[in-house]
Chain A
Amino acid sequence: MIPPEERSRDGANANRDRSPPDERPVRIEVEGLAKTYRQNGNQVDALDEFSLRVREREFFCLLGPSGCGKSTFLRILSGLLEKDGGEIHLEASEDQRPTTSMVFQEKGIFPWKTVLENVAFGLKMRDVPEDRRHEVAKRFIRKVNLDGFEGAYPHQLSGGMKQRVDIARAFANDPEILLMDEPFGDLDAQTKRTLQNELVTLWQERPKTVIYVTHDIEEAIRLGDRLGVMTDRPGSIAELIDIDLDRPRTRENLDLARMEALQHEVWSILEDVTENQEP
Chain B
Amino acid sequence: MNRLPRRTRWLLLLGPFVAVAIGWEGAAQFGVIDPNFFPPPSTVLVLAADLYLHGDFLTHLLASLRRIVLAGLLGGTAGIALGTVMGRSPTVKAVTDPHLSVLYPLPKIALLPVMFSLFGVTEMARILTMALAVLLLVSINTMGAVEQIEDSYVEAALDNGADRIALYREVILPGTVPQIASGLSLGFGVAVVLLVIIEMVAADAGLGYVIWTSWQQFKIPQLYVALFTVNVLGVIFVHGPEEVGLWLTPWRNG
Contacts and interface: CB of A to CB of B under 8 A. Distances in A.
Interface of A: 75, 78-80, 98, 100-102, 104, 106-114, 121-122, 125-126, 153-155, 169, 173
Contact of A110 (B153, B177, B249, B253): B153
A155 B156 contact: no
Given A110-B170, A110-B171, A112-B249, A98 B161 contact: yes
Contact of B159 (A80, A110, A112, A153): A80
A155 B251 contact: yes
Interface of B: 150, 152-153, 155-163, 166, 170-171, 174-175, 177, 249-253
A106 B156 CA distance: 10
Contacts of A75: 155
Nearest to A121: B160
Given A107-B156, A125-B161, 17 more contacts: A78-B159, A79-B159, A80-B159, A98-B161, A101-B159, A101-B160, A102-B155, A107-B150, A109-B156, A110-B171, A111-B175, A111-B251, A112-B174, A112-B177, A122-B160, A125-B163, A125-B166
Contact of B175 (A101, A112, A121): A112
Of all A-B residue pairs in the complex, the 7 with the closest CB atoms, nearest first, are A125-B161, A122-B160, A153-B251, A112-B174, A107-B152, A102-B159, A112-B251
Contacts of A78: 159
A210 B171 CA distance: 27
Contacts of B177: 112
Given A106-B152, A110-B171, A125 B252 contact: no
Contacts of A79: 159
Contacts of B252: 111, 155
A121 B160 CA distance: 7
A173 B250 CA distance: 26
A105 to B, nearest CB: 8
B160 A169 contact: yes
Nearest to A100: B159
A126 B152 contact: no
Contacts of A101: 159-160
29 contacts: A78-B159, A98-B161, A101-B160, A102-B155, A102-B156, A104-B156, A107-B153, A108-B152, A108-B155, A108-B156, A110-B157, A110-B170, A110-B171, A110-B174, A110-B175, A111-B175, A111-B252, A112-B175, A112-B177, A112-B251, A122-B160, A125-B157, A125-B161, A125-B162, A125-B166, A153-B251, A154-B251, A155-B253, A173-B160
Given A112-B175, A154-B251, A122 B155 contact: no
A112 B253 CA distance: 11
A113 B251 contact: yes
Contacts of A80: 155, 158-159
A106 B152 CA distance: 8
A162 to B, nearest CB: 12
A121 B170 contact: yes
B174 to A, nearest CB: 4
